Amino acid sequence: MKALKTVIANLMPVVRWITAGLFIGVFGLNVVQITLRYLVGTTWLWVPDLLRLMFVWMVFLGASVLYAMNGHLAVDFLVTRLSPRRRQIAAIVVEAAAITFFTILFFKGIEIAEKRMRVPFDTWDVPTGYAYAAISVAAVLMLLIGIDRLADQIRTVIRGETENVEGN
């Protein structure tokens, strides 16, 4: 599993930078579009389609970055009341459920992207399937992270350790 940790450690900073670049691009294009509309009285018709494409990729890649950083909201009301050993078991169950979800997300993302490859954006002759491909790409990233975390959590339980309960 060291190889998987290395892949994740090298990949996630790149994904973070891509996500940040997409955010800056979305923000900048919106500012340009608003400026053109209200100060010049014109607009670029292709910008909303590009913004949609960039936004979808930003959201899904951003979700994988948050997942890698344990940055998603979590309701831990019940888990905090459990013993450390049961917390570890709950963490394994949650991670296994997440891996199941990411697997479904991967296959459904491919299915949706394939169907949308026949539907172009409004103003360009580019298939909207390229936007929907972000679903499967993010699912693969989150699957890699989830598998790594699950392996760590199982090793921790086998060793009888009480640390690493949240998968950090």
Per-residue pLDDT, averaged over 96-107, amounts to 98
User: Does the pLDDT at position 138 exceed 80?
Assistant: yes
Instruction: Name the one residue in this structure whose structure tokens are 């998603």.
Output: 72
Decide: 167 and 70 in contact? Cβ < 8 Å: yes
Question: CA angle, 68 as apex, 66 and 74 as ends, to 5°?
Answer: 60
Residue 79 carries which DSSP code? G
User: Does the pLDDT at position 10 exceed 80?
Assistant: yes
Q: Which amino acid is at 75?
A: V
Model confidence at 80, in pLDDT bands (50, 70, 90)? confident
Model confidence at 79, in pLDDT bands (50, 70, 90)? confident
Question: CA angle, 85 as apex, 79 and 91 as ends, to 5°?
Answer: 50
User: Does the pLDDT at position 161 exceed 80?
Assistant: no
User: Does the pLDDT at position 168 exceed 70?
Assistant: no
Amino acid 137: pLDDT? 98
User: Does the pLDDT at position 134 exceed 70?
Assistant: yes
Query: Percent of the chain beyond pLDDT 70?
Result: 96
User: Does the pLDDT at position 35 exceed 90?
Assistant: yes
Neighbours of 135 (CB within 10 A): 22
Closest CA to 88 of 100, 76, 79: 79
Model confidence at 82, in pLDDT bands (50, 70, 90)? confident
d(CA 45, CA 93): 48
User: Does the pLDDT at position 163 exceed 70?
Assistant: no
List the chain domain ranges. 2-159
Amino acid 28: pLDDT? 97
Neighbours of 96 (CB within 10 A): 14
Q: Which residues contact 39 (CB under 8 A, 6 or more apart)?
A: none
- Burial grade of 132 (CB within 10 A; 0-12, 13-18, 19 or more): buried
